[in-house]
Amino acid sequence: MERNQRFFRILVVGFIVLSSLCVNLQPAAVHAAGTAAAAALPKGGDELWKTGFSLGPDDWIYAEAVAPNGDVYVGGDLDSIGGLKTGRVARWGASDHQWHALGKGITWGRVYSLVISGSYLYVGGYFDAVNDTDIPADGIARWNMNTSTWSTVGGPGFSKTSGSPDVYALAVDGSGNVYAGGDFSFINGLQVLNVAKWSGSAWSAVGSLGTTSEKVEALVWHGSTLVAAGNFATLHHIAAWNGVSWSSLGAGTDKEVYALAADSSFLYVGGSFKNVTNPNSTTVAVNYIAMWNWSGSYWQDMDGGFDGPDVDAIAVGPDNHVYAGGRFHNSNSNSGSVTTSNLARWAGSWEAVHANGSLAEGVYGNVYALTFYGQDLWLAGGFQAAGSLSAKYVARWNLDALQWYTPGGNTPNGTINAVLVNYPNVYYGGLFNSAGGIQTSGVASYNVLTKTWSALGSGLSGCATLSCNGPQVNALAIFGGSLYVGGDFSSAGGTTVHGLARFNLANSTWYDVGGGVTCSGFPCTAVVRALYFAGGNLFVGGRFLKAGTVTVNNVAEWSGGTGLRWVPAPMDM
């Protein structure tokens, strides 16, 4: 009876403490007004919410480029990332895992294309100035990655006989020359039609491709050949430049081309087309993606293609597989349809891209750019999630770990189930694998003074549920210099645990807590849902049969005193 009364007193004291904390949170608005007393919160209170926590860019991304040091540049319709004002282009730092503006950025228009040559990032799109409005530049400009300065590319930029110019594609050859493709008629007064070449000191025409009402939307350099594609009827939407003239690839495609990529054997082509025609006039049904055999000079089907309506990005990975992104739900595989959700991998047949242990395929929304750096595939577009994780317009897929990560924003990329404040740090627990660009699974720390995220050692891994999407944290508690973490996970910092672990804040080391919680039978899932410290003891609630070796049935008490032990927490009041 005495033990029951003690447990009841603990609950009452806990309720009083939590209630007082809730009351004391509200006068932040009173402090701001200069009084510590009884001023009421404004109606609605929206102005009290901070805006710094957001995931990724605030609008769609159409282009990516990765620098030799691993920094990732993105461009599109964005205006800010994670509360940082960037304009239409931004940089993600590989070393600090933070987003950065490029000077004053591009504040009007849209960025369609990015490419790196030497120390310069070349930016193409629909805009008339860079560095806000400081430097007039029509459709193209460059950012010096060493000096962090904007400049024009040989003059004021592109123009058009009628209307505004657009640069949709940029490519670099083996000598560092930059090629621009789009919808334009002149560059700095020089007549060019939809394709132009920058040598590093001067612009020149690259033949004449299409008409003033047509456009080039994709470029790729292969060996000594520039391939251009888009919406031009004269050479059936795709053509090759040999340094002297343009020529068709068979009879090309029956509709627009948006994406090009190449390896030593094939040219990969994506778009809104359904058929391609070979030099011998045979038509091949391909459905939005096809490959051109370099040595044999003929088109080939890629396992039936997709259900469409288009393929907008293609990249060849270090695994020698082809990755395609765009707007499609299923492949038309000859061996049976495969659900792909806007992203698929070609390895002789189409495969879905999904994380280990997850059934969630691809991304949820359009994919417009694919770029590899090492074992990382960077995606950009109009999507809101990658696999089972939140990923706003930009995401990273690691080929070794077979996992999704989010490089963006100042927030975790998944669900938050628990928050605990230990000033100046705020600890977050939930179902996520990155926070502010830092790779961390299930739990992370945010410093409110430095505004930076940190992982807790090597973090958590594994889980007990059959439909496991990664480690999940449901509860946090702090006592005696350690953070206690409860949820569904099987390893903490490489130490085997069972849904419960302790992180020593002084030496940054994970420890098991009494063998954690378990259950028996099949199916069997032991999960911690709640943690609370009182009187030096840890009270644990959730769904489990045992704590350590003690039968406890969903509620247990861990003694922090001498002779650490589990005991069933009293339930009869």
pLDDT over 70 at 44, yes or no: no
**Is 187 strand, coil or helix?**
strand
Chain-wide mean pLDDT for the chain?
87
9 pLDDT above the threshold of 60: no
Q: Which residues contact 203 (CB under 8 A, 6 or more apart)?
A: 153, 154, 155, 187, 188, 190, 192, 196, 197
Rounded to an integer, the average pLDDT of 66-92 is 93
Tokens 């030593």 found at: 264
For position 448, what pLDDT does the model report? Answer: 85
| pLDDT (average), residues 209-218 | 94
Give the per-residue pLDDT at 332: 83
Q: What is the dihedral of CA 330, 331, 332, 333, to 10 degrees?
A: -130
Which of 163 and 368 is assigned the larger pLDDT?
368
* Region 248-261 average pLDDT: 98
For residue 351, which of 365, 367, 335, 374 has the smallest C-alpha distance? 335
pLDDT value for 358: 66
Three-state DSSP class for 16? helix
For the CA atoms of the chain, what is the radius of gyration? 28
Please calculate the CA angle 242-247-250 and round it to the nearest 5 degrees: 130
Answer yes or no: are the C-beta atoms of 238 and 223 closer than 8 Å. Answer: no
Quick check: 245 pLDDT over 50?
A: yes
The pLDDT-based confidence of 66 (bands split at 50, 70, 90) is very high
- Alpha-carbon distance of 258 to 324, in angstroms, equals 12
Q: How many angstroms separate the Cα of 190 from the Cα of each of 154, 177, 456, 539?
A: 11, 18, 58, 77
pLDDT digit string, tens, across residues 178-190 = 999 999 999 999 9
Sheet containing strand 403-405, edge to edge, reads 367-373, 376-381, 394-398, 403-405
**Domain ranges in the chain?**
1-38, 411-568
In the chain, what percentage of residues exceed pLDDT 90?
A: 69
**C-alpha atoms less than 13 angstroms from C-alpha of 137 in its C-beta half-sphere:** 29
- Return the pLDDT at 408: 60
* Cα 108 to Cα 131: distance, rounded to the nearest angstrom: 10
Nearest Cα to 437, choosing from 472, 461, 412? Answer: 412
Backbone angles phi, psi at 274, to 5 degrees: -120, -20
